[in-house]
Structure 1
Amino acid sequence: MKKFKYIYALLMLCCTVVVAQQTPASKQSKDIAIVGATAHIGNGQVIENSIITFSNGKITNVADAASISVNSNTMDIIDATGKHVYPGFITSNSSLGLVEVNAVRASNDQRETGNIKPHIRSLIAYNAESKVVESMRPNGVLVAQISPKGGRISGTSSIVQFDAWNWEDAAIKVDDGIHLTWPNPYTFGRWWLGEDPGVKLSTNYTNQVEELNTLIKDSKAYLKGSKTTKNLPFEAMKGLYDGSQQLYIHVEDERGITDAIAYTKAHNIKNMVIIGGYEAHKVTDLLKANNIGVLIGHTHSLPNSSDDDYDLPYKMPKLLIDAGITVGMHTGNVSNFQTRNLPFYIGTAAREGIDKEEALKIITSNTAKLLGIDDRLGTLEVGKDATLFISEGDALDMRTNQLTHAFIGGRLISLETHQTELWKRYSNKYKN
């Protein structure tokens, strides 16, 4: 029996080694220049024949290649003629690194028990060696906001990059905001009790909103007063009032969005972002007047109501962009593995009439702005992190988005994953 245990342990170790994440890349040691690619800056600008240089993890030059010469003796030069270079794509409200296998409870760390828990930090549960996280990189998804789920206030999110040994190394912005799920104003009649089965106003809605008002008042009173006993939830909400954190409100319907905006204004909460916003196109004037952006859900979905246009999810980005709203995209409503399709969700939106460079902003500069990281990421500009990738073709088209190189903070990262290894293994199976 003892011998069997040793053999079993050895087999488990071997399996772990086989499926482990690629070793994180070493720090950039030599200047790098990418020459000849079509550069999609991420702010709507395109440079057809570009040169991009970066040193010590920061972009040092972005220009037309005809205007600058490079010295191959002092830097590594990547000839990307005929290819395309993009800023790393950013997803938000994701459970990447918090859930490995949905059906295995021990690998699911995305929610804690309780209803009001702003002090719960998703970052410390983030698994940097997740196979799911690793699978994002070959499609150019290199950065994500990791957010908790469950309860009225689910906790605090953080923003990470996808090439790290642990959560400390992965963190780009720690505890960037608190996530609140707005109460649903509507409910369905209980037909089994003889009620009209249609939609009606929820009798609990007013009470639930009042509970949120009380929470804000109590937490402010606590923060101003003398603290004989430490209250962790109230302590965690301080950033909402001094402007150092965002309040991410998960809400879909028109009335909920309207009431959520009124709520933040009434309590002088400085920074607010809507997550979801399925009916945001109905209140664009209100959103624009209050300078509130929306992280919409992915486009590959069905309408929520039989009365909606069949293609409403596809054209939602255009409706909001045309109204002057800052639009990003979240992937909290898809399975973790499907997050890698982020660029193709945007490709679908571009087919609805948005200029392709404007559509690209949804998962680059716009999302970076809404997450408060646009000083470091989201565009290919001097001084920003060299988090970018080179693709054989259009990165928003699943047929041509074939990455040849990807960099995070100037470090050349591996594009191998558990899935690419399996693809290579079985691609020759039927050729012999």
Structure 2
Amino acid sequence: MNKNIYLLFLILSISITAQQVPAKKQSKSILILHGMAHLGNGQVINNSAIGFKDGKITLVADATLIRLAKDAYDLTIDATGKQVYPGFIAPNSTLGLVEIDAVKSSDDESEIGNINPNVRSLIAYNAESKVIETVRPNGILIAQITPRGGRFSGTSSIVQLDAWNWQDAVIKENDGIHLNFPSSFKQTGWWAEPGGTTLNKDYSKQVIEISDFLSNSKAYLADTSKEKNLVFESVKGLFDGNQTLFIHADKELQIIDAIKLAKENGVKKIVIVGGFEAYKAADFLKENNIGVLLRRVHDMPEYDDQDVNLPYKMAKILTDKGILVGLENSGDMERMNTRNLPFLAGTCAAYGLDKEQALQLITSNTAKLLGIDTFCGTLEEGKDATLFISEGDALDMRTNQLTEAYIQGRIISLETHQSQLNKIYKEKYNQK
């Protein structure tokens, strides 16, 4: 049997035998009492009452200041000594787009070609990916599914992480288009053997090509008598404000040039993704009211003369400048490492931010940058009941121990293939 076919068969076999069944719609109202509630907006209620019904939060209050009838909720959970959080959000993620990198037929993260804004990552999203079930036990309950490759990678969508298929999973369809902006310099080598830095002689040409595409798209959309062009049609939301242009750029010049170009071409909403040198352009970002989804902070500085702790301090530097900051986790083994997103925020807390500010990096701030803050990102009445209970501090890998998690009020499974194997072999060897 062909090796790739065998591996794919193995994936499907595991999925069939150990697949977690998505939770059913919430039927009974739930009240979580006496937990320390971190609302995701900087506020904390030490002795909280969090109630939700029909998938929506109906009560967020201090339990010592209210009186509740015994029959106000169908189920009551005593969270004394525990902590309650809004579900964490993973932006710029390829969860569900690749299962095993070595198996080509399980890899749907990129398309052939350079200009692909019409490519919709959502329809390639595999809600049954075994990787997804490994991130939920750490509190990651929402993700922005984002394509890779090319100059315009395609269109992302936002999903909740407990569903049968992409149709059930989607909570915001086609939220943004992703642009990989060229750099004026090219670096050679790799992390173990870094090479030199050379000038990108094609930089001006590449920037002009992006500008031409955007201006041609505007001209096409303004013309009422035309043949259909799916590529130009797909960027309409950038000009009417229904979609965000997510610009993937790290260098200062990249960031400034990209923002100027986008604004000159009438793009309404812009977010920088990566932004390693965003601190150098902080005043420009603040002036233009543009936020940053900061690249993985568990990283090294790029240059010998930079502070070795600069990646850890970046969120603090930008926050102090008044810039809206979220965290993203793209890079090596990014799907598997999505589970470490809370601990990236924890590192930011260790290097300058207070814990509630750090929490906002993966809850309310990210929700605002993705345009979903009207229904998630914080524990507030009227928002989706997407939240979890942890034994301790969810930003600390030692105490991030979830006991219950809910997506839109549905209590979801925190079981994984690994935890199932753990139970099986503990039983086999009669371990407690």
TM-score, length basis structure 1: 0.93
Q: In structure 2, how many angstroms separate the alpha carbons of the residues matched to 1:186 and 1:16?
A: 45
CA distances 1:364-396 after superposition (whole Å, capped 9, x unpaired)? 000000000000110000110000000000000
Q: Which residue of 1 aligns with 2:132?
A: 133
Q: CA deviation at 1:202?
A: 1.7
**1:10-49 alpha-carbon deviations (Å, 9 max, x no partner):** x979934654431111111111100000000000000000
Deviation, structure 1 residue 63: 0.5
2:83 aligned residue: 84
User: Residue 166 and residue 227 in structure 1: after superposition, are their counterparts in 2 closer, same or farther (change >3 A)?
Assistant: farther
State the distance in 2 between where 1:298 and 1:315 align.
Answer: 12
* Amino acid in structure 1 at the alignment position of 2:172: K
CA contact (8 A) 1:21 1:134 kept: no
For the residue of structure 1 that corresponds to 2:301, the secondary structure is coil
Residue from 297, 300, 308 that aligns with 1:310: 308
Counterpart position of 1:230: 228
1:228 Cα shift? Answer: 3.8
Please report how far the alpha carbon of residue 216 of structure 1 lies from its aligned counterpart in structure 2 after TM superposition.
Answer: 1.0
User: 2: distance between equivalents of 1:429 and 1:340?
Assistant: 28
- Measured in 1, the distance between the counterparts of 2:226 and 2:89 equals 42
Q: What is the Cα deviation at residue 352 of structure 1? A: 0.5
**Quick check: 2:15–2:130 contact (8 Å CA) kept in 1?**
no
1:281 aligns to 2:279 (yes or no): yes
- The secondary structure found in structure 2 opposite 1:324 is coil
Range with greater deviation from structure 2 (307-316 or 145-154): 307-316
Matched residue SS, 2:131: helix
1:377 and 1:13 map into 2 onto residues whose CA distance is 33
* Structure 1 counterpart of 2:201, one-letter code: T
Residues 150 and 227 of structure 1: is their aligned pair in 2 closer, same or farther, counting only changes over 3 Å?
farther
Structure 1 match to 2:3: none
Find the aligned partners of 2:404 and 2:287 in 1 and give their Cα distance: 42
Question: How far did 1:420 drift?
Answer: 1.3
String of CA shifts for 1:54-94, please: whole Å, max 9, x gaps. 11100011001112233443420000000000000001000
Following superposition, the deviation at residue 134 of structure 1 comes to 1.2
Partner of 2:192: none
Secondary structure at the aligned position of 1:49 is classed as strand
Map of 1:353 onto structure 2: 352
**Native 8 Å contact 1:129 1:166 kept in 2:** yes
Q: Which residue of structure 1 lines up, in the alignment, with residue 43 of structure 2?
A: 45
Q: Deviations over 1:96-143 (max 9, x none)?
A: 000111111111100010000100000000001111011111000000
Preserved contact between residue 187 and residue 200 of structure 1 (Cα < 8 Å): yes
**Are residues 430 and 298 of structure 1, via their aligned partners in 2, closer, same or farther at CA, if it must alter by over 3 Å?**
farther
C-alpha change, 1:337 and 1:187, in structure 2 (3 Å) is closer
Instruction: Please state if 1:386 is matched with 2:385.
Output: yes
CA contact (8 A) 2:37 2:85 kept: yes
Match of 2:219 among 218, 221, 234: 221
User: Is structure 2 residue 410 aligned with structure 1 residue 414?
Assistant: no
Decide which of 56, 60, 63 is 1:58's aligned counterpart: 56
1:263 Cα deviation from its structure 2 partner: 0.8
The residue identity in structure 2 corresponding to 1:167 is W
2:380 partner amino acid: E
2:299 counterpart residue number: 301
Q: Output aligned runs, 1:98-117, within 5 Å.
A: 98-117=97-116
| Gaps in structure 1 of 5+ consecutive residues | 1-7, 191-196
Q: Secondary structure at the match of 2:245?
A: strand
Q: What is the number of equivalent residue pairs in this alignment?
A: 417
Query: Given residue 277 of structure 1, which amino acid in structure 2 is its aligned partner?
Result: G
Comparing 67-76 and 90-99, the one that deviates more? 67-76
1:359-374 alignment runs, 5 A limit:
359-374=358-373
Rounded to whole Å, the distance in 1 between the matches of 2:148 and 2:17 is: 27
Aligned to 1:187, the other structure's residue is in SS state strand
* Cα separation, 2, equivalents of 1:249 and 1:54: 37
Which secondary structure does the structure 1 equivalent of 2:361 belong to? helix
Secondary structure, in 3 states, of the residue corresponding to 1:333? coil
Contact 2:366–2:377 under 8 Å retained in 1 = yes
C-alpha separation in 2, matches of 1:153 and 1:347: 32
CA distance in 1, matches of 2:263, 2:360: 28
